[in-house]
Amino acid sequence: MMADYTVRDQVAVIELDNPPVNALGSAVRAGIYDGIRKADRDPNIKAVVICGKRGTFCAGADIREFDGGKNGPWITDIGDFIDNMKKPVVAAIEGFALGGGLEVALFCHYRIALKTVRVGQPEVQIGLLPGGGGTIRLPRATGLKNALDIITTGNHVPAEKAAKMGIIDQIVTGDIIEEGIKFVKSKCNIDTSLVCLRMKTVKYSGDLDDISEAAMTKVKSKFKGAIAPIVCVKSVINSAKMPYEKGIDTEKEHFQDLRHSSQSKAMRYAFFAERAITRWQLPSGGNYKTAKPLPVKTSGVIGAGTMGGGIALCLITSGIPCILVEQNQQFLDKGLEIVKAQLMRTVQLGKLSTEQAKKCFTMLKPTTNIEDLKNVDLVIEAVYEDLKLKREIFEKLDRICKSETILCTNTSSLHIDSIATATKRQSKVVGTHFFAPSYIMKLLENIYGTKTSAETVATVMKLGKTIKKVPVLVGSCTGFVANRMLKPYSEEAQYCLEEGSTPSIVDTVLMDFGMPIGNFQVSDLSGLDIGFRIKREAARKAGVELSKNSRFFLGQRNCGLIEKLYEAGRMGKKNGKGWYKYESLNGKPIVDPEVTMLIEEHCRSLGIERRNIGSQEILERMQYAMINEGFKILEEGLCTMAEEIDVIWIYGFSWPKYMGGPMYYASQIGLKKIYEKVCYYHKTFPYSMHWVPSSLLAKLSQIDLPLSEWGDVAQGRKLVNKL
């Protein structure tokens, strides 16, 4: 039984016991159900306390059971029984009460909690709705408006706020079981039907249809393409429309439909992928279990530009004081203005109070003297992408900083060793690649060099969590994992343009798939000059000329459209014209006939015949080229598991979670089909190296192995014979 039953002072105490988070697996549900019936039967028992072991109440249903586990009692059987009990039942909450955990608490007649508790219905984040009465009972506790907000966002609610909302009856301090016993004994003479949520009506103001329509509009625009938030709204509205029993039955039907949906399966995969990637390991053997992170109590950032300012903000808003270094006062002032503006925006969004923002700002120490970094625990360099400059800075830092200081680079493409070798502490040099806008985007790609120590890796992995990012560890190569995969994806988008498509057609196809923004809109946001400079630098390094009219560059297929747009002064959103035109800095992309003419002229001058390219082809070419690259990355050991690639795309490029990530998507399409298409495109476009099929993909396409084992095959941890 996974719920302990003990008796203290005529009160039955049912303690959920399922490590690590007391998930409501079938045995736990059975344990609670048996416990309450036993307590009800026993005339010596006056009341019941339900609580959890290990400092937490319950993190909800056991997500692993959703793919087909043991049946056990349905969670609402527990609720139905408590609803008819005369003996009072209290949920005594510490830690978390989430999902089914909160639902169990809502079955109880009362809820008490420690101040540190968080409650919530996060089911929507794994493509579900609360299926244990949450959509029907939470509105009865807190009203329709709050319930809609909590259930459609999945956000956690801190205890004191939950108490104000009517979800928690009392905040307590001290031992939660003792408090629970004391509390519930004081309620023994109160008629339980008076406090039972089933008996309450749902409070709301205004017209129900209007509320429903407004909520639908909101979730459709906020969670584009996702089904679960829509179903959540429907079910919460049902709580006010339908009798209790009908609402509960309808909710259960919705839950079962969603449980079997491809979106929820993908989101459940993503949930565990995010946790799997925390179990990192280095080729040298160091890993998450054995390596101890160093403390990061103080930090420094060099360069207060687009990236550095946001990185400094991440540090100070997480309570880590930061010294921000710029090359001169003018750049420093400019950078500080941007940091301040971003902080103000955080206040406007209600994420920080004005007081908190002011306190954060005092943790930032701007300077133009790099020597000020001598005592900090960790430095993140974010100056221009110029190897010579970065090496100079690392050489200086090595001299200035105390020997324990970890030196990080935010380079987006340079090999870590090429920077680390400028120091005498290569074991303490590591890549910390943030994504723009660095304060907002969740991905932190941590890159180890040949000599980076496990302790250094452990430190930046922990730092990533501290600053509320999703850290993923990868090996070093040009562009690392994210940008290396992005390259074939963007190149195919440009090839589609010269073969007959347009920026808006390509972007629409991607957004219809679920990407929040199209490839050419992203390019306009980053600035076309960036893409142009990268190409120009590659040409300079190779000692060749960058010719906009050549169909080949460095032995590969070339599309010179970026050069042509750059030459036409189209820098992107910053100057109001790029692949689209813009009426203002915050304006929406508008199709520009000038660009269409420019593309058509490009094709005419190079004798490229334009044709109609269907959306399926656009999607396939962009995605399969990138997926093929993903398999090469696994093959080269730059990632140890396919899950790392998926998490990188979800948090770095906003790949829709309900599609699981590109590698998961490939697993759903089938590797045989992907491999055949890659071979087909390789034949069709022989001058694009990214179509050379990955040998790992070729191997895996012949066998049926789950995604979780692809990394093992790549690294020889799993041998496959059948070929």
Ligand X SMILES: CCCCCCCCCCCCC[C@H](O)CC(=O)SCCNC(=O)CCNC(=O)[C@H](O)C(C)(C)COP(=O)(O)OP(=O)(O)OC[C@H]1O[C@@H](n2cnc3c(N)ncnc32)[C@H](O)[C@@H]1OP(=O)(O)O
476 binds ligand NAD (CB under 6 A): no
251 binds ligand X (CB under 6 A): no
CB of 107 to ligand X, least distance (A): 12
447 binds ligand NAD (CB under 6 A): no
**Residue whose CB is less far from ligand NAD, 326 or 529:** 326
Binding partner of 612, given ligand X, ligand NAD, none, CB within 5-8 angstroms per partner class = none
66 binds ligand X (CB under 6 A): yes
State the DSSP code for 451.
Answer: T
620 binds ligand X (CB under 6 A): no
The answer to whether the CB of 317 falls within 8 A of the CB of 352 is yes
DSSP element (H, E) containing 419: helix 416-420
CB of 384 to ligand NAD, least distance (A): 5
> Which window, 282-290, 319-327, 356-364, 457-465, contacts ligand NAD (CB under 6 A)?
319-327
Which residues are 51's β-sheet partners?
Answer: 15
DSSP codes joined into one string, 175-200: -HHHHHHHHHHTTTTS-GGGT-GGGS
CB of 324 to ligand X, least distance (A): 30
Q: Which residues contact 158 (CB under 8 A, 6 or more apart)?
A: 117, 118
Phi-psi region at 225: left, alpha or beta (left = phi > 0; alpha = psi -120 to 50): left
5 binds ligand NAD (CB under 6 A): no
464 binds ligand X (CB under 6 A): no
The answer to whether the CB of 473 falls within 8 A of the CB of 461 is yes
CB of 307 to ligand NAD, least distance (A): 3
Rounded to an integer, what distance in angstroms lies between the CA atom of residue 396 and that of residue 370?
8
Beta strands at 406-409 and 429-434: parallel, antiparallel or unpaired: parallel
- In 3D, which of 377, 397, 393 has the Cα closest to residue 455? 377
598 binds ligand NAD (CB under 6 A): no
62 binds ligand X (CB under 6 A): yes
CB of 474 to ligand NAD, least distance (A): 14
> Which window, 11-19, 131-139, 324-332, 641-649, contacts ligand NAD (CB under 6 A)?
324-332
CB of 426 to ligand NAD, least distance (A): 19
Among 61, 397, 485, 633, which residue interacts with ligand X (rule: CB under 6 A)? 61
Among 306, 450, 466, 508, which residue interacts with ligand NAD (rule: CB under 6 A)? 306
Binding partner of 308, given ligand NAD, ligand X, none, CB within 5-8 angstroms per partner class = ligand NAD
- In 3D, which of 695, 558, 682 has the Cα closest to residue 634? 695
Tokens of 195: 């406090």
Instruction: Lay out the site mask for ligand NAD across 373-412 (x = CB under 6 A, - = otherwise).
Output: ---------xxxx---x---x----------------xxx
79 binds ligand X (CB under 6 A): no
Instruction: Lay out the site mask for ligand X across 11-40 (x = CB under 6 A, - = otherwise).
Output: ---------xx-x-----------------
Count of residues touching ligand X (by CB under 6 A): 30
Task: Residue 179: count other Cβ atoms within 10 Å of its Cβ.
Answer: 22
CB of 137 to ligand X, least distance (A): 11
**Residue whose CB is less far from ligand NAD, 338 or 698:** 338
Tokens of 256: 């079962």
130 binds ligand X (CB under 6 A): yes
The answer to whether the CB of 469 falls within 8 A of the CB of 311 is no
**Residue whose CB is less far from ligand NAD, 223 or 655:** 655
Q: Which amino acid is at 532?
A: F
* Sign of the alpha-carbon dihedral angle for 205, 207, 213, 214: negative
55 binds ligand X (CB under 6 A): no
Burial of 450 per CB tally in 10 Å (0-12, 13-18, 19+): middle
Among 99, 308, 366, 661, which residue interacts with ligand NAD (rule: CB under 6 A)? 308
The answer to whether the CB of 36 falls within 8 A of the CB of 89 is yes
Give every strand in the sheet of 470-475, ordered side by side. Answer: 364-367, 322-325, 299-302, 378-381, 406-409, 429-434, 443-448, 470-475
3-state class (DSSP) for residue 344: helix
- In 3D, which of 196, 169, 237 has the Cα closest to residue 80? 196
Binding partner of 306, given ligand NAD, ligand X, none, CB within 5-8 angstroms per partner class = ligand NAD
122 binds ligand X (CB under 6 A): yes
Q: By beta-carbon distance, which residue lies closest to ligand X?
A: 99
Q: How many CA atoms lie within 13 A of 567 on its CB side?
A: 12
Count of residues touching ligand NAD (by CB under 6 A): 24
Binding partner of 304, given ligand X, ligand NAD, none, CB within 5-8 angstroms per partner class = ligand NAD
Rounded to an integer, what distance in angstroms lies between the CA atom of residue 703 and that of residue 719?
12
Site of interaction with ligand X (CB under 6 A): 20-21, 23, 59-66, 68-69, 71, 75, 96, 98-100, 103, 122-123, 126, 128, 130-132, 134, 272, 275
**Residues lying near ligand NAD in the complex (CB under 6 A):** 302-308, 325-327, 331, 335, 382-385, 389, 393, 410-412, 434, 436, 526
